[in-house]
Amino acid sequence: MLMGVERRFVWSMAFACASFAFARPGAFAQPGADSESPQRLVGLNVAAGNLEGQPVTDLQSAEIRIREDGKLRPIVFFRFAGSKRPRQAPVPGEFVNLPLPVPTLIVLDRWNEKLMTTAAAWLDIGAALQRMESVDRVFIYFLTNHGDLVPVHPLPSTDADLRAASSPSAAELRAKLDEAVRKLQGFRDIDIEDPVFRANTTFRALEALGAQTAALSGRKNLIWVTHGMPLAVWVMPQGEWVDFTPQIRRLSAAAAHSQIAIYTVQESEQGAGADPTSEARAALEMFSVLTGGRWYPSDNAAPAIAASIADGRGNYRVAYYSPIREKDRKEHKIRIESVRKGVRLLTRESYSSRSLEPAPEAVEAELFSTERRSPFDATEIGLRAGGTRNPDGKTVRFKIRVDPLDVLLERHGENYEGRLGLMLALYSDGFLKEMTAPIHADIRLSQEQYATALQDGIVIEKDAPVSDKIQKVRAMVFDQGLFGLGSVTFPAP
């Protein structure tokens, strides 16, 4: 049960952050910039695709342009982050964290649907699942007619560490969905005719799901198949308008910070012939544009799932600096485009400057706490790791190699500089037994050293006591510049 608390805290930190945008003092100013001017590092997940909707995996930073409020911003970090990105092969005795498919969560919303609308969405999702080559890392939840978020095929539990996560076939996953819909189908409660109550229940369900999803590193896709809800409602007998925009912006900002792209499918009982200008469209589009997802009209659950998976395969992590202005509390518009013909880029359309990121050390502590119990290795940062017993027989010399292209190393004169945190978790019979205290490495590489690191990695070594009862070790590395996380699990020496 502890893990649920940890996940919720990570998500609550995301609410406080408001977006992946945080203040940096002049120490990290770009070359030539005013060293005393505070800077905000804005991080983006950018999906690249061609005109046919296929992922583009070979873009270069020189081929894209980012504008904030119409002004061109230099790119300070650019890295292909799709599941097909290459990893350097480990040498004997080393282990590597191979990239995994982007997790895709599907939410079938009965709470905001009519009975026949849910049936159509159910069949559409089921058909889409059966056409997929693999449903590995596809998870499904059902928001019932009573407002309960029920797992159909949930994210793996973490009450026991490092357990092998089950991966059903497409047919098995569809059978689970069919069983859940038949079991949970029914008429909605009468009290959900209160639009404020219905909206707040929906927000709580999305927040709960976001808390669970935030524990996974890197990009995540959330497909929300729903009739939706209006952006504002007239409430009687108070005789006033209730605007849900603040709640939607808050949820979307937390999702964007946790790298969750929301794809909304606005189901209607009229099906594909529904009016696309309905009141719910504005609310659902806001979720999508603020998180880097897409909005779809009715009867398009299958295209939404396919597009989200393609976006994950063509995903890039990009960051740029924006100056911090005094008393700035506005929404800053982001526009990104490619100079390469036929390439379309998708990212969130804005970020809020109202909140600043918490201290890197606080984020590091929470992510390490979460990752130590995750059934998956984190793959935002490429790692190669291994260890050898020291002559005393009681301690192990661990050597971790970090891919320098996956962390923020900024040019300061002739050097590349950054800061990394490292922690080791030790396991026996799949359960966490011990954790080492975190250590931190201030990286400062000359151009020659940087060229060597591109081949051999940034090497971090640590001695730690390891008893003969420990069976597995997980090395975790946190980038305090980008707030990125990498981990690799391997047998204890």
Q: Is the pLDDT of residue 102 over 90?
A: yes
Most confident of 192-201, 316-325, 357-366: 316-325
Please name each of the domains of the chain with its CATH number.
1-358 (3.40.50.410), 375-493 (2.60.40)
What does the pLDDT look like over 355-374, one tens digit per residue?
666 788 999 998 999 899 88
Q: What was the pLDDT predicted at 294? A: 97
What does the pLDDT look like over 86-100, one tens digit per residue?
888 888 999 999 998
Peptide bond into 151 cis (omega under 30): no
Distance linking the first and last C-alpha atoms of the chain: 31
Single pTM value for the model: 0.89
Taking the C-alpha atoms of residue 407 and residue 317, their distance in angstroms, rounded to an integer, is 10
Q: What was the pLDDT predicted at 21? A: 46
Counting residues of the chain whose pLDDT is more than 90, the rounded percentage is 58
Which of 393, 367, 369 is closest to 380 using CA atoms?
367
User: Alpha-carbon dihedral of residues 207, 247, 363, 406, nearest 10 degrees?
Assistant: 90
Q: What was the pLDDT predicted at 39? A: 84
Per the model's pLDDT, the better-predicted residue between 33 and 195 turns out to be 195
Q: Is the pLDDT of residue 187 over 90?
A: no
Contacts of 452 (CB under 8 A, 6+ apart): none
Taking the C-alpha atoms of residue 416 and residue 40, their distance in angstroms, rounded to an integer, is 19
Q: What was the pLDDT predicted at 2? A: 28
- Cβ atoms of residues 178 and 123 within 8 Å: no
Q: Is the pLDDT of residue 272 over 50?
A: no
Q: What was the pLDDT predicted at 8? A: 40
Q: What was the pLDDT predicted at 459? A: 96
What does the pLDDT look like over 444-456, one tens digit per residue?
999 999 999 999 9
Q: Which of 99-103, 219-223, 415-419 has the lowest mean pLDDT?
A: 99-103
Which of 473, 359, 376 is closest to 422 using CA atoms?
473
Counting residues of the chain whose pLDDT is more than 70, the rounded percentage is 85
Q: Is the pLDDT of residue 73 over 90?
A: yes
